[in-house]
């Protein structure tokens, strides 16, 4: 699928993860594992694989292999993450170019934000 047709659901890329994926591209550039996607509302989103997609972009691949995610995941959480991306002007994987950060910063900025969102969602669901 064309990279520019898939909405990211994550705000940052870990530089350490990216370095590891980039090393794999050097040795096996055409053996990329398919990336899970899902139709959420009227958009197709990345469910995972943002780092692989970003590495593909850096290697000037216009397309990546994908598959439709059929697991029951917390789609409400994904909707929130996509909304965060839209608020920050992230509409394609190329918009993450200025958002490659150290893994330590990634944990602080992304994992911590997601953990707080999960806690908020759980509290909201318990009130129902």
State the CATH class of domain 3-127: alpha beta
**Structural domain boundaries of the chain?**
3-127
pTM beyond 0.85: the answer is yes
How far is Cα 85 from Cα 9, in angstroms, rounded to an integer? 6
46-62 per-position pLDDT tens digit: 999 999 999 999 999 99
For 75-124, what is each residue's pLDDT tens digit?
999 999 999 999 999 999 999 999 999 999 999 999 999 999 999 999 98
């Amino acid at each position: 699928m064309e990279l520019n047709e898939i909405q990211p659901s994550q705000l940052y890329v870990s530089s350490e993860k990216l370095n590891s994926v980039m090393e794999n591209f050097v040795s096996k550039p055409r053996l990329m594992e398919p990336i899970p996607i899902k139709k959420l509302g009227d958009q197709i989103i990345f469910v995972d694989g943002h780092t692989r997609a970003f590495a593909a972009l850096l290697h000037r691949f216009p397309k990546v292999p994908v598959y439709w995610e059929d697991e029951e995941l917390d789609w409400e959480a994904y909707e929130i993450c996509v909304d965060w991306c839209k608020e920050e002007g992230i509409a394609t994987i190329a918009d993450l170019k200025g958002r490659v950060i150290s893994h330590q910063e990634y944990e602080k900025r992304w994992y911590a934000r997601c953990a707080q969102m999960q806690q908020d969602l759980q509290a909201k669901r318990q009130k129902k």
